[in-house]
Structure 1
Amino acid sequence: MNYIDLRNATFMNYQSFTPPDVLKPFIRYFWTLESAGADDQPKTFGAIVDGCPGVIMVQSEKEAFCDEQNKRLPEIFLYGQTLKPVSFTSAGNVNAVGICFQPHALKSVFGFDAGDLTNGCLDLTQLARKHDGFSEKLFTAPSAKDQIATLSGFMADNIRSNTRQVDETTKYALAQIVQTNGNISLKDLQQKLQLSERSLERKFNQAIGISPKLFSRICRFQESLNQMRKSNFDKLSDLAYESNYADQSHFIRVFKEFTGFSPLEFIKQSREVVENFPQIVK
């Protein structure tokens, strides 16, 4: 479920959209974020580790997103697995369209090894050169919904022409890890699939961009974050226990590794307007 911090709703207008049925195996959801007021002050957003690649498109009268080195990012970029929290800065109001992919989408949609884009991003228009008129149609679309429709068509075209789909064994292993929130014995999974540890790791690195062990850790962390969003705990130690962490200290270490904050700091210093993409309160 998407989470919107109502403290931010006065100037951030967020919506999520279910993809067409043909894209559901590859895309979790589309999202839009629009500034809804006169607040054009610089804003900093943090990207939380979530195990999913995606696309972000930002259109602004001022500069678009800049990374932590103040390098301007492409107007629309495709990003891979992120292994540590990163931040982006917007010079003013934000009008963005995004895609949250399924974990295997880089290979399933675009046909390249996901590991090639881990901790990185690239200009999506570079991948769209063979699609005549795509960029112009996307950037001149009259509304965010029209942009989503253009992106949907582009993704469907790529899927149809892609000959490097993820194999069923990897899809099964991925589904088992997701369904158990990362709480599955990888050794048992390897035995069931009759794969060695190295073989499963190689398949995951190609299809997902990270190892199955790291992906399991991210799934477990994301489940604990979901429980935090719902306030389904009285004490952090209860949340740590319910999420199968050894103790509260272990949970805090993992939480800080994937968000950049301790759980209490995260609650106080961020406003999660878009799921896994909070605005950092300065």
Structure 2
Amino acid sequence: MNYKQYPVHPALKNWIRYFWSYDVCTSATEALHIRSFADRYPRLVFQDICSFSPIKDAQGTIKPICYLSGVDTQPTDAYWESHFSHFGVSFQPHALHFLFGINAAELTNQTPDIQLLDKTEIPVLLLNAKNHLERVSILSEYFYKRTSKSKGDVVIDHLFLGNWADRLDNEKNLATIASHYQISERQLQRRFKQNVGVSARKFARVAKFEKSLPALSLADYGSLTQLAYDLEYSDQSHFIKDFKLFSGLSPYEFVKQSSLGSESASFIYIEELA
């Protein structure tokens, strides 16, 4: 599997974390299963379904050629064969509201075709591109034009530009943030959910869960209590409860399974046939 990340132009870094591509072309055909866990980073996914295997959801429906995925708070499953070419964008948490002018809560746990939000030729342009670097250029130009027409929420923008986004885990911190920006806590909560798609507290829980994924790969099951405290959970049971909620697996089940690769909080496995 060939996974690559591509840098972002400085003018787009407030909204885009990186571009990525994932390619596999083998003579053997295997069924692959991708488990996508809760993820605080929205994304755009393009798939070349003319020459390669398409992504199918759990019901067997083929996903659009180019689709958006909002912030995820629950695990989902998708499938394809080991002959695929995907290209994507990893956005900052508050990017979709800014770039598409939509209430981000409408995209939480959703994967709409990009053309439902913008009647754009982007899917065709990406399909006709010669390589992934050309796709980076196409989407960079597309999103740069959208930024010039968009107006962000100054408070939420500053929150993510600074270190405030890592301090949303309790009411005291939320009150401090609201006071800093001279707005009410209720107004902060409303604006945060509109821009990001989930409440500040839910966002903090998902962020904490995501931090546990790489940490688990270095830990043994007997050290879960210490890991829970390191991640600032009140105890191991709360850590396990949140992990199951956001991944559908226990920490032990996650560590036991060997993935072929990953992108953000999505992991690829060989599908076990009945």
Normalising by structure 1, we get a TM-score of 0.86
- Aligned partner letter, 1:81: V
Aligned partners of 1:177 and 1:221: how far apart in 2?
Answer: 18
What's the offset of the Cα at 1:279? 1.1
| Partner SS state of residue 22, structure 2 | strand
Q: Give the gaps of 5 or more residues in structure 2.
A: none
In 2, Cα distance between the equivalents of 1:66 and 1:137? Answer: 22
Q: Is the 2:216–2:255 contact (alpha carbons within 8 Å) kept by the matching residues of 1?
A: no
Between the two proteins, what is the percent identity of the paired residues?
A: 29
42, 48, 61: which one pairs with 2:37? 48
Alignment-derived partner of residue 90 in structure 2: 100
CA distance in 2: counterparts of 1:234 and 1:210, whole angstroms: 33
Residues 153-172 of structure 1 aligned to structure 2 (within 5 Å)? 153-162=141-150, 164-165=151-152, 167-172=153-158
C-alpha distance in 2, partners of 1:57/1:229?
29
| Distance (whole Å) between structure 2 residues aligned to residue 173 and residue 141 of structure 1 | 36
Unaligned runs of 5+ in 1: 1-11
SS of the equivalent of 1:38 reads coil
The code of the aligned residue for 1:275 comes to: S
> Do the aligned partners of 1:178 and 1:219 also contact (CA within 8 Å) in 2?
no
Q: CA RMSD in A?
A: 2.3
Q: Any idea what the Cα deviations from partners look like across 1:173-205, whole Å, max 9, x if unmatched?
A: 444443448577223323333333321111011
State how 1:36-185 maps to structure 2 within 5 Å: 36-60=25-49, 61=51, 63-129=53-119, 131=120, 134-162=122-150, 164-165=151-152, 167-174=153-160, 175-180=162-167, 182=169, 185=173
Alignment check: 8 A CA contact 1:74 1:123 kept? yes
Q: Distance in 1 between matches of 2:198 and 2:243?
A: 18
How many residue pairs were aligned? 267
Question: Does residue 276 of structure 1 match 2:262?
Answer: no
Deviation at 1:152, TM superposition (A): 1.4
Question: Take 1:160 and 1:197, find their aligned partners in 2: how far apart are those partners?
Answer: 30
Q: Does 1:20 align with 2:29?
A: no
Q: Deviations over 1:177-235 (max 9, x none)?
A: 43448577223323333333321111011100111111111122222223234559971
Deviates more, 1:52-61 or 1:71-80: 52-61
2-structure distance, mates of 1:181, 1:210? 12
What is the letter of the counterpart of residue 101 of structure 1?
Answer: F
Measure the CA separation in 1 of the matches of 2:63 and 2:191. Answer: 30
Residue 267 of structure 1 pairs with residue 249 of structure 2 = no
Deviations 1:227-273 (A, max 9, x none): 23455997111110101111111111111111111111112225142
Partner of 2:183: 195
Distance in structure 1 (CA, Å) of the matches to 2:218 and 2:148: 39
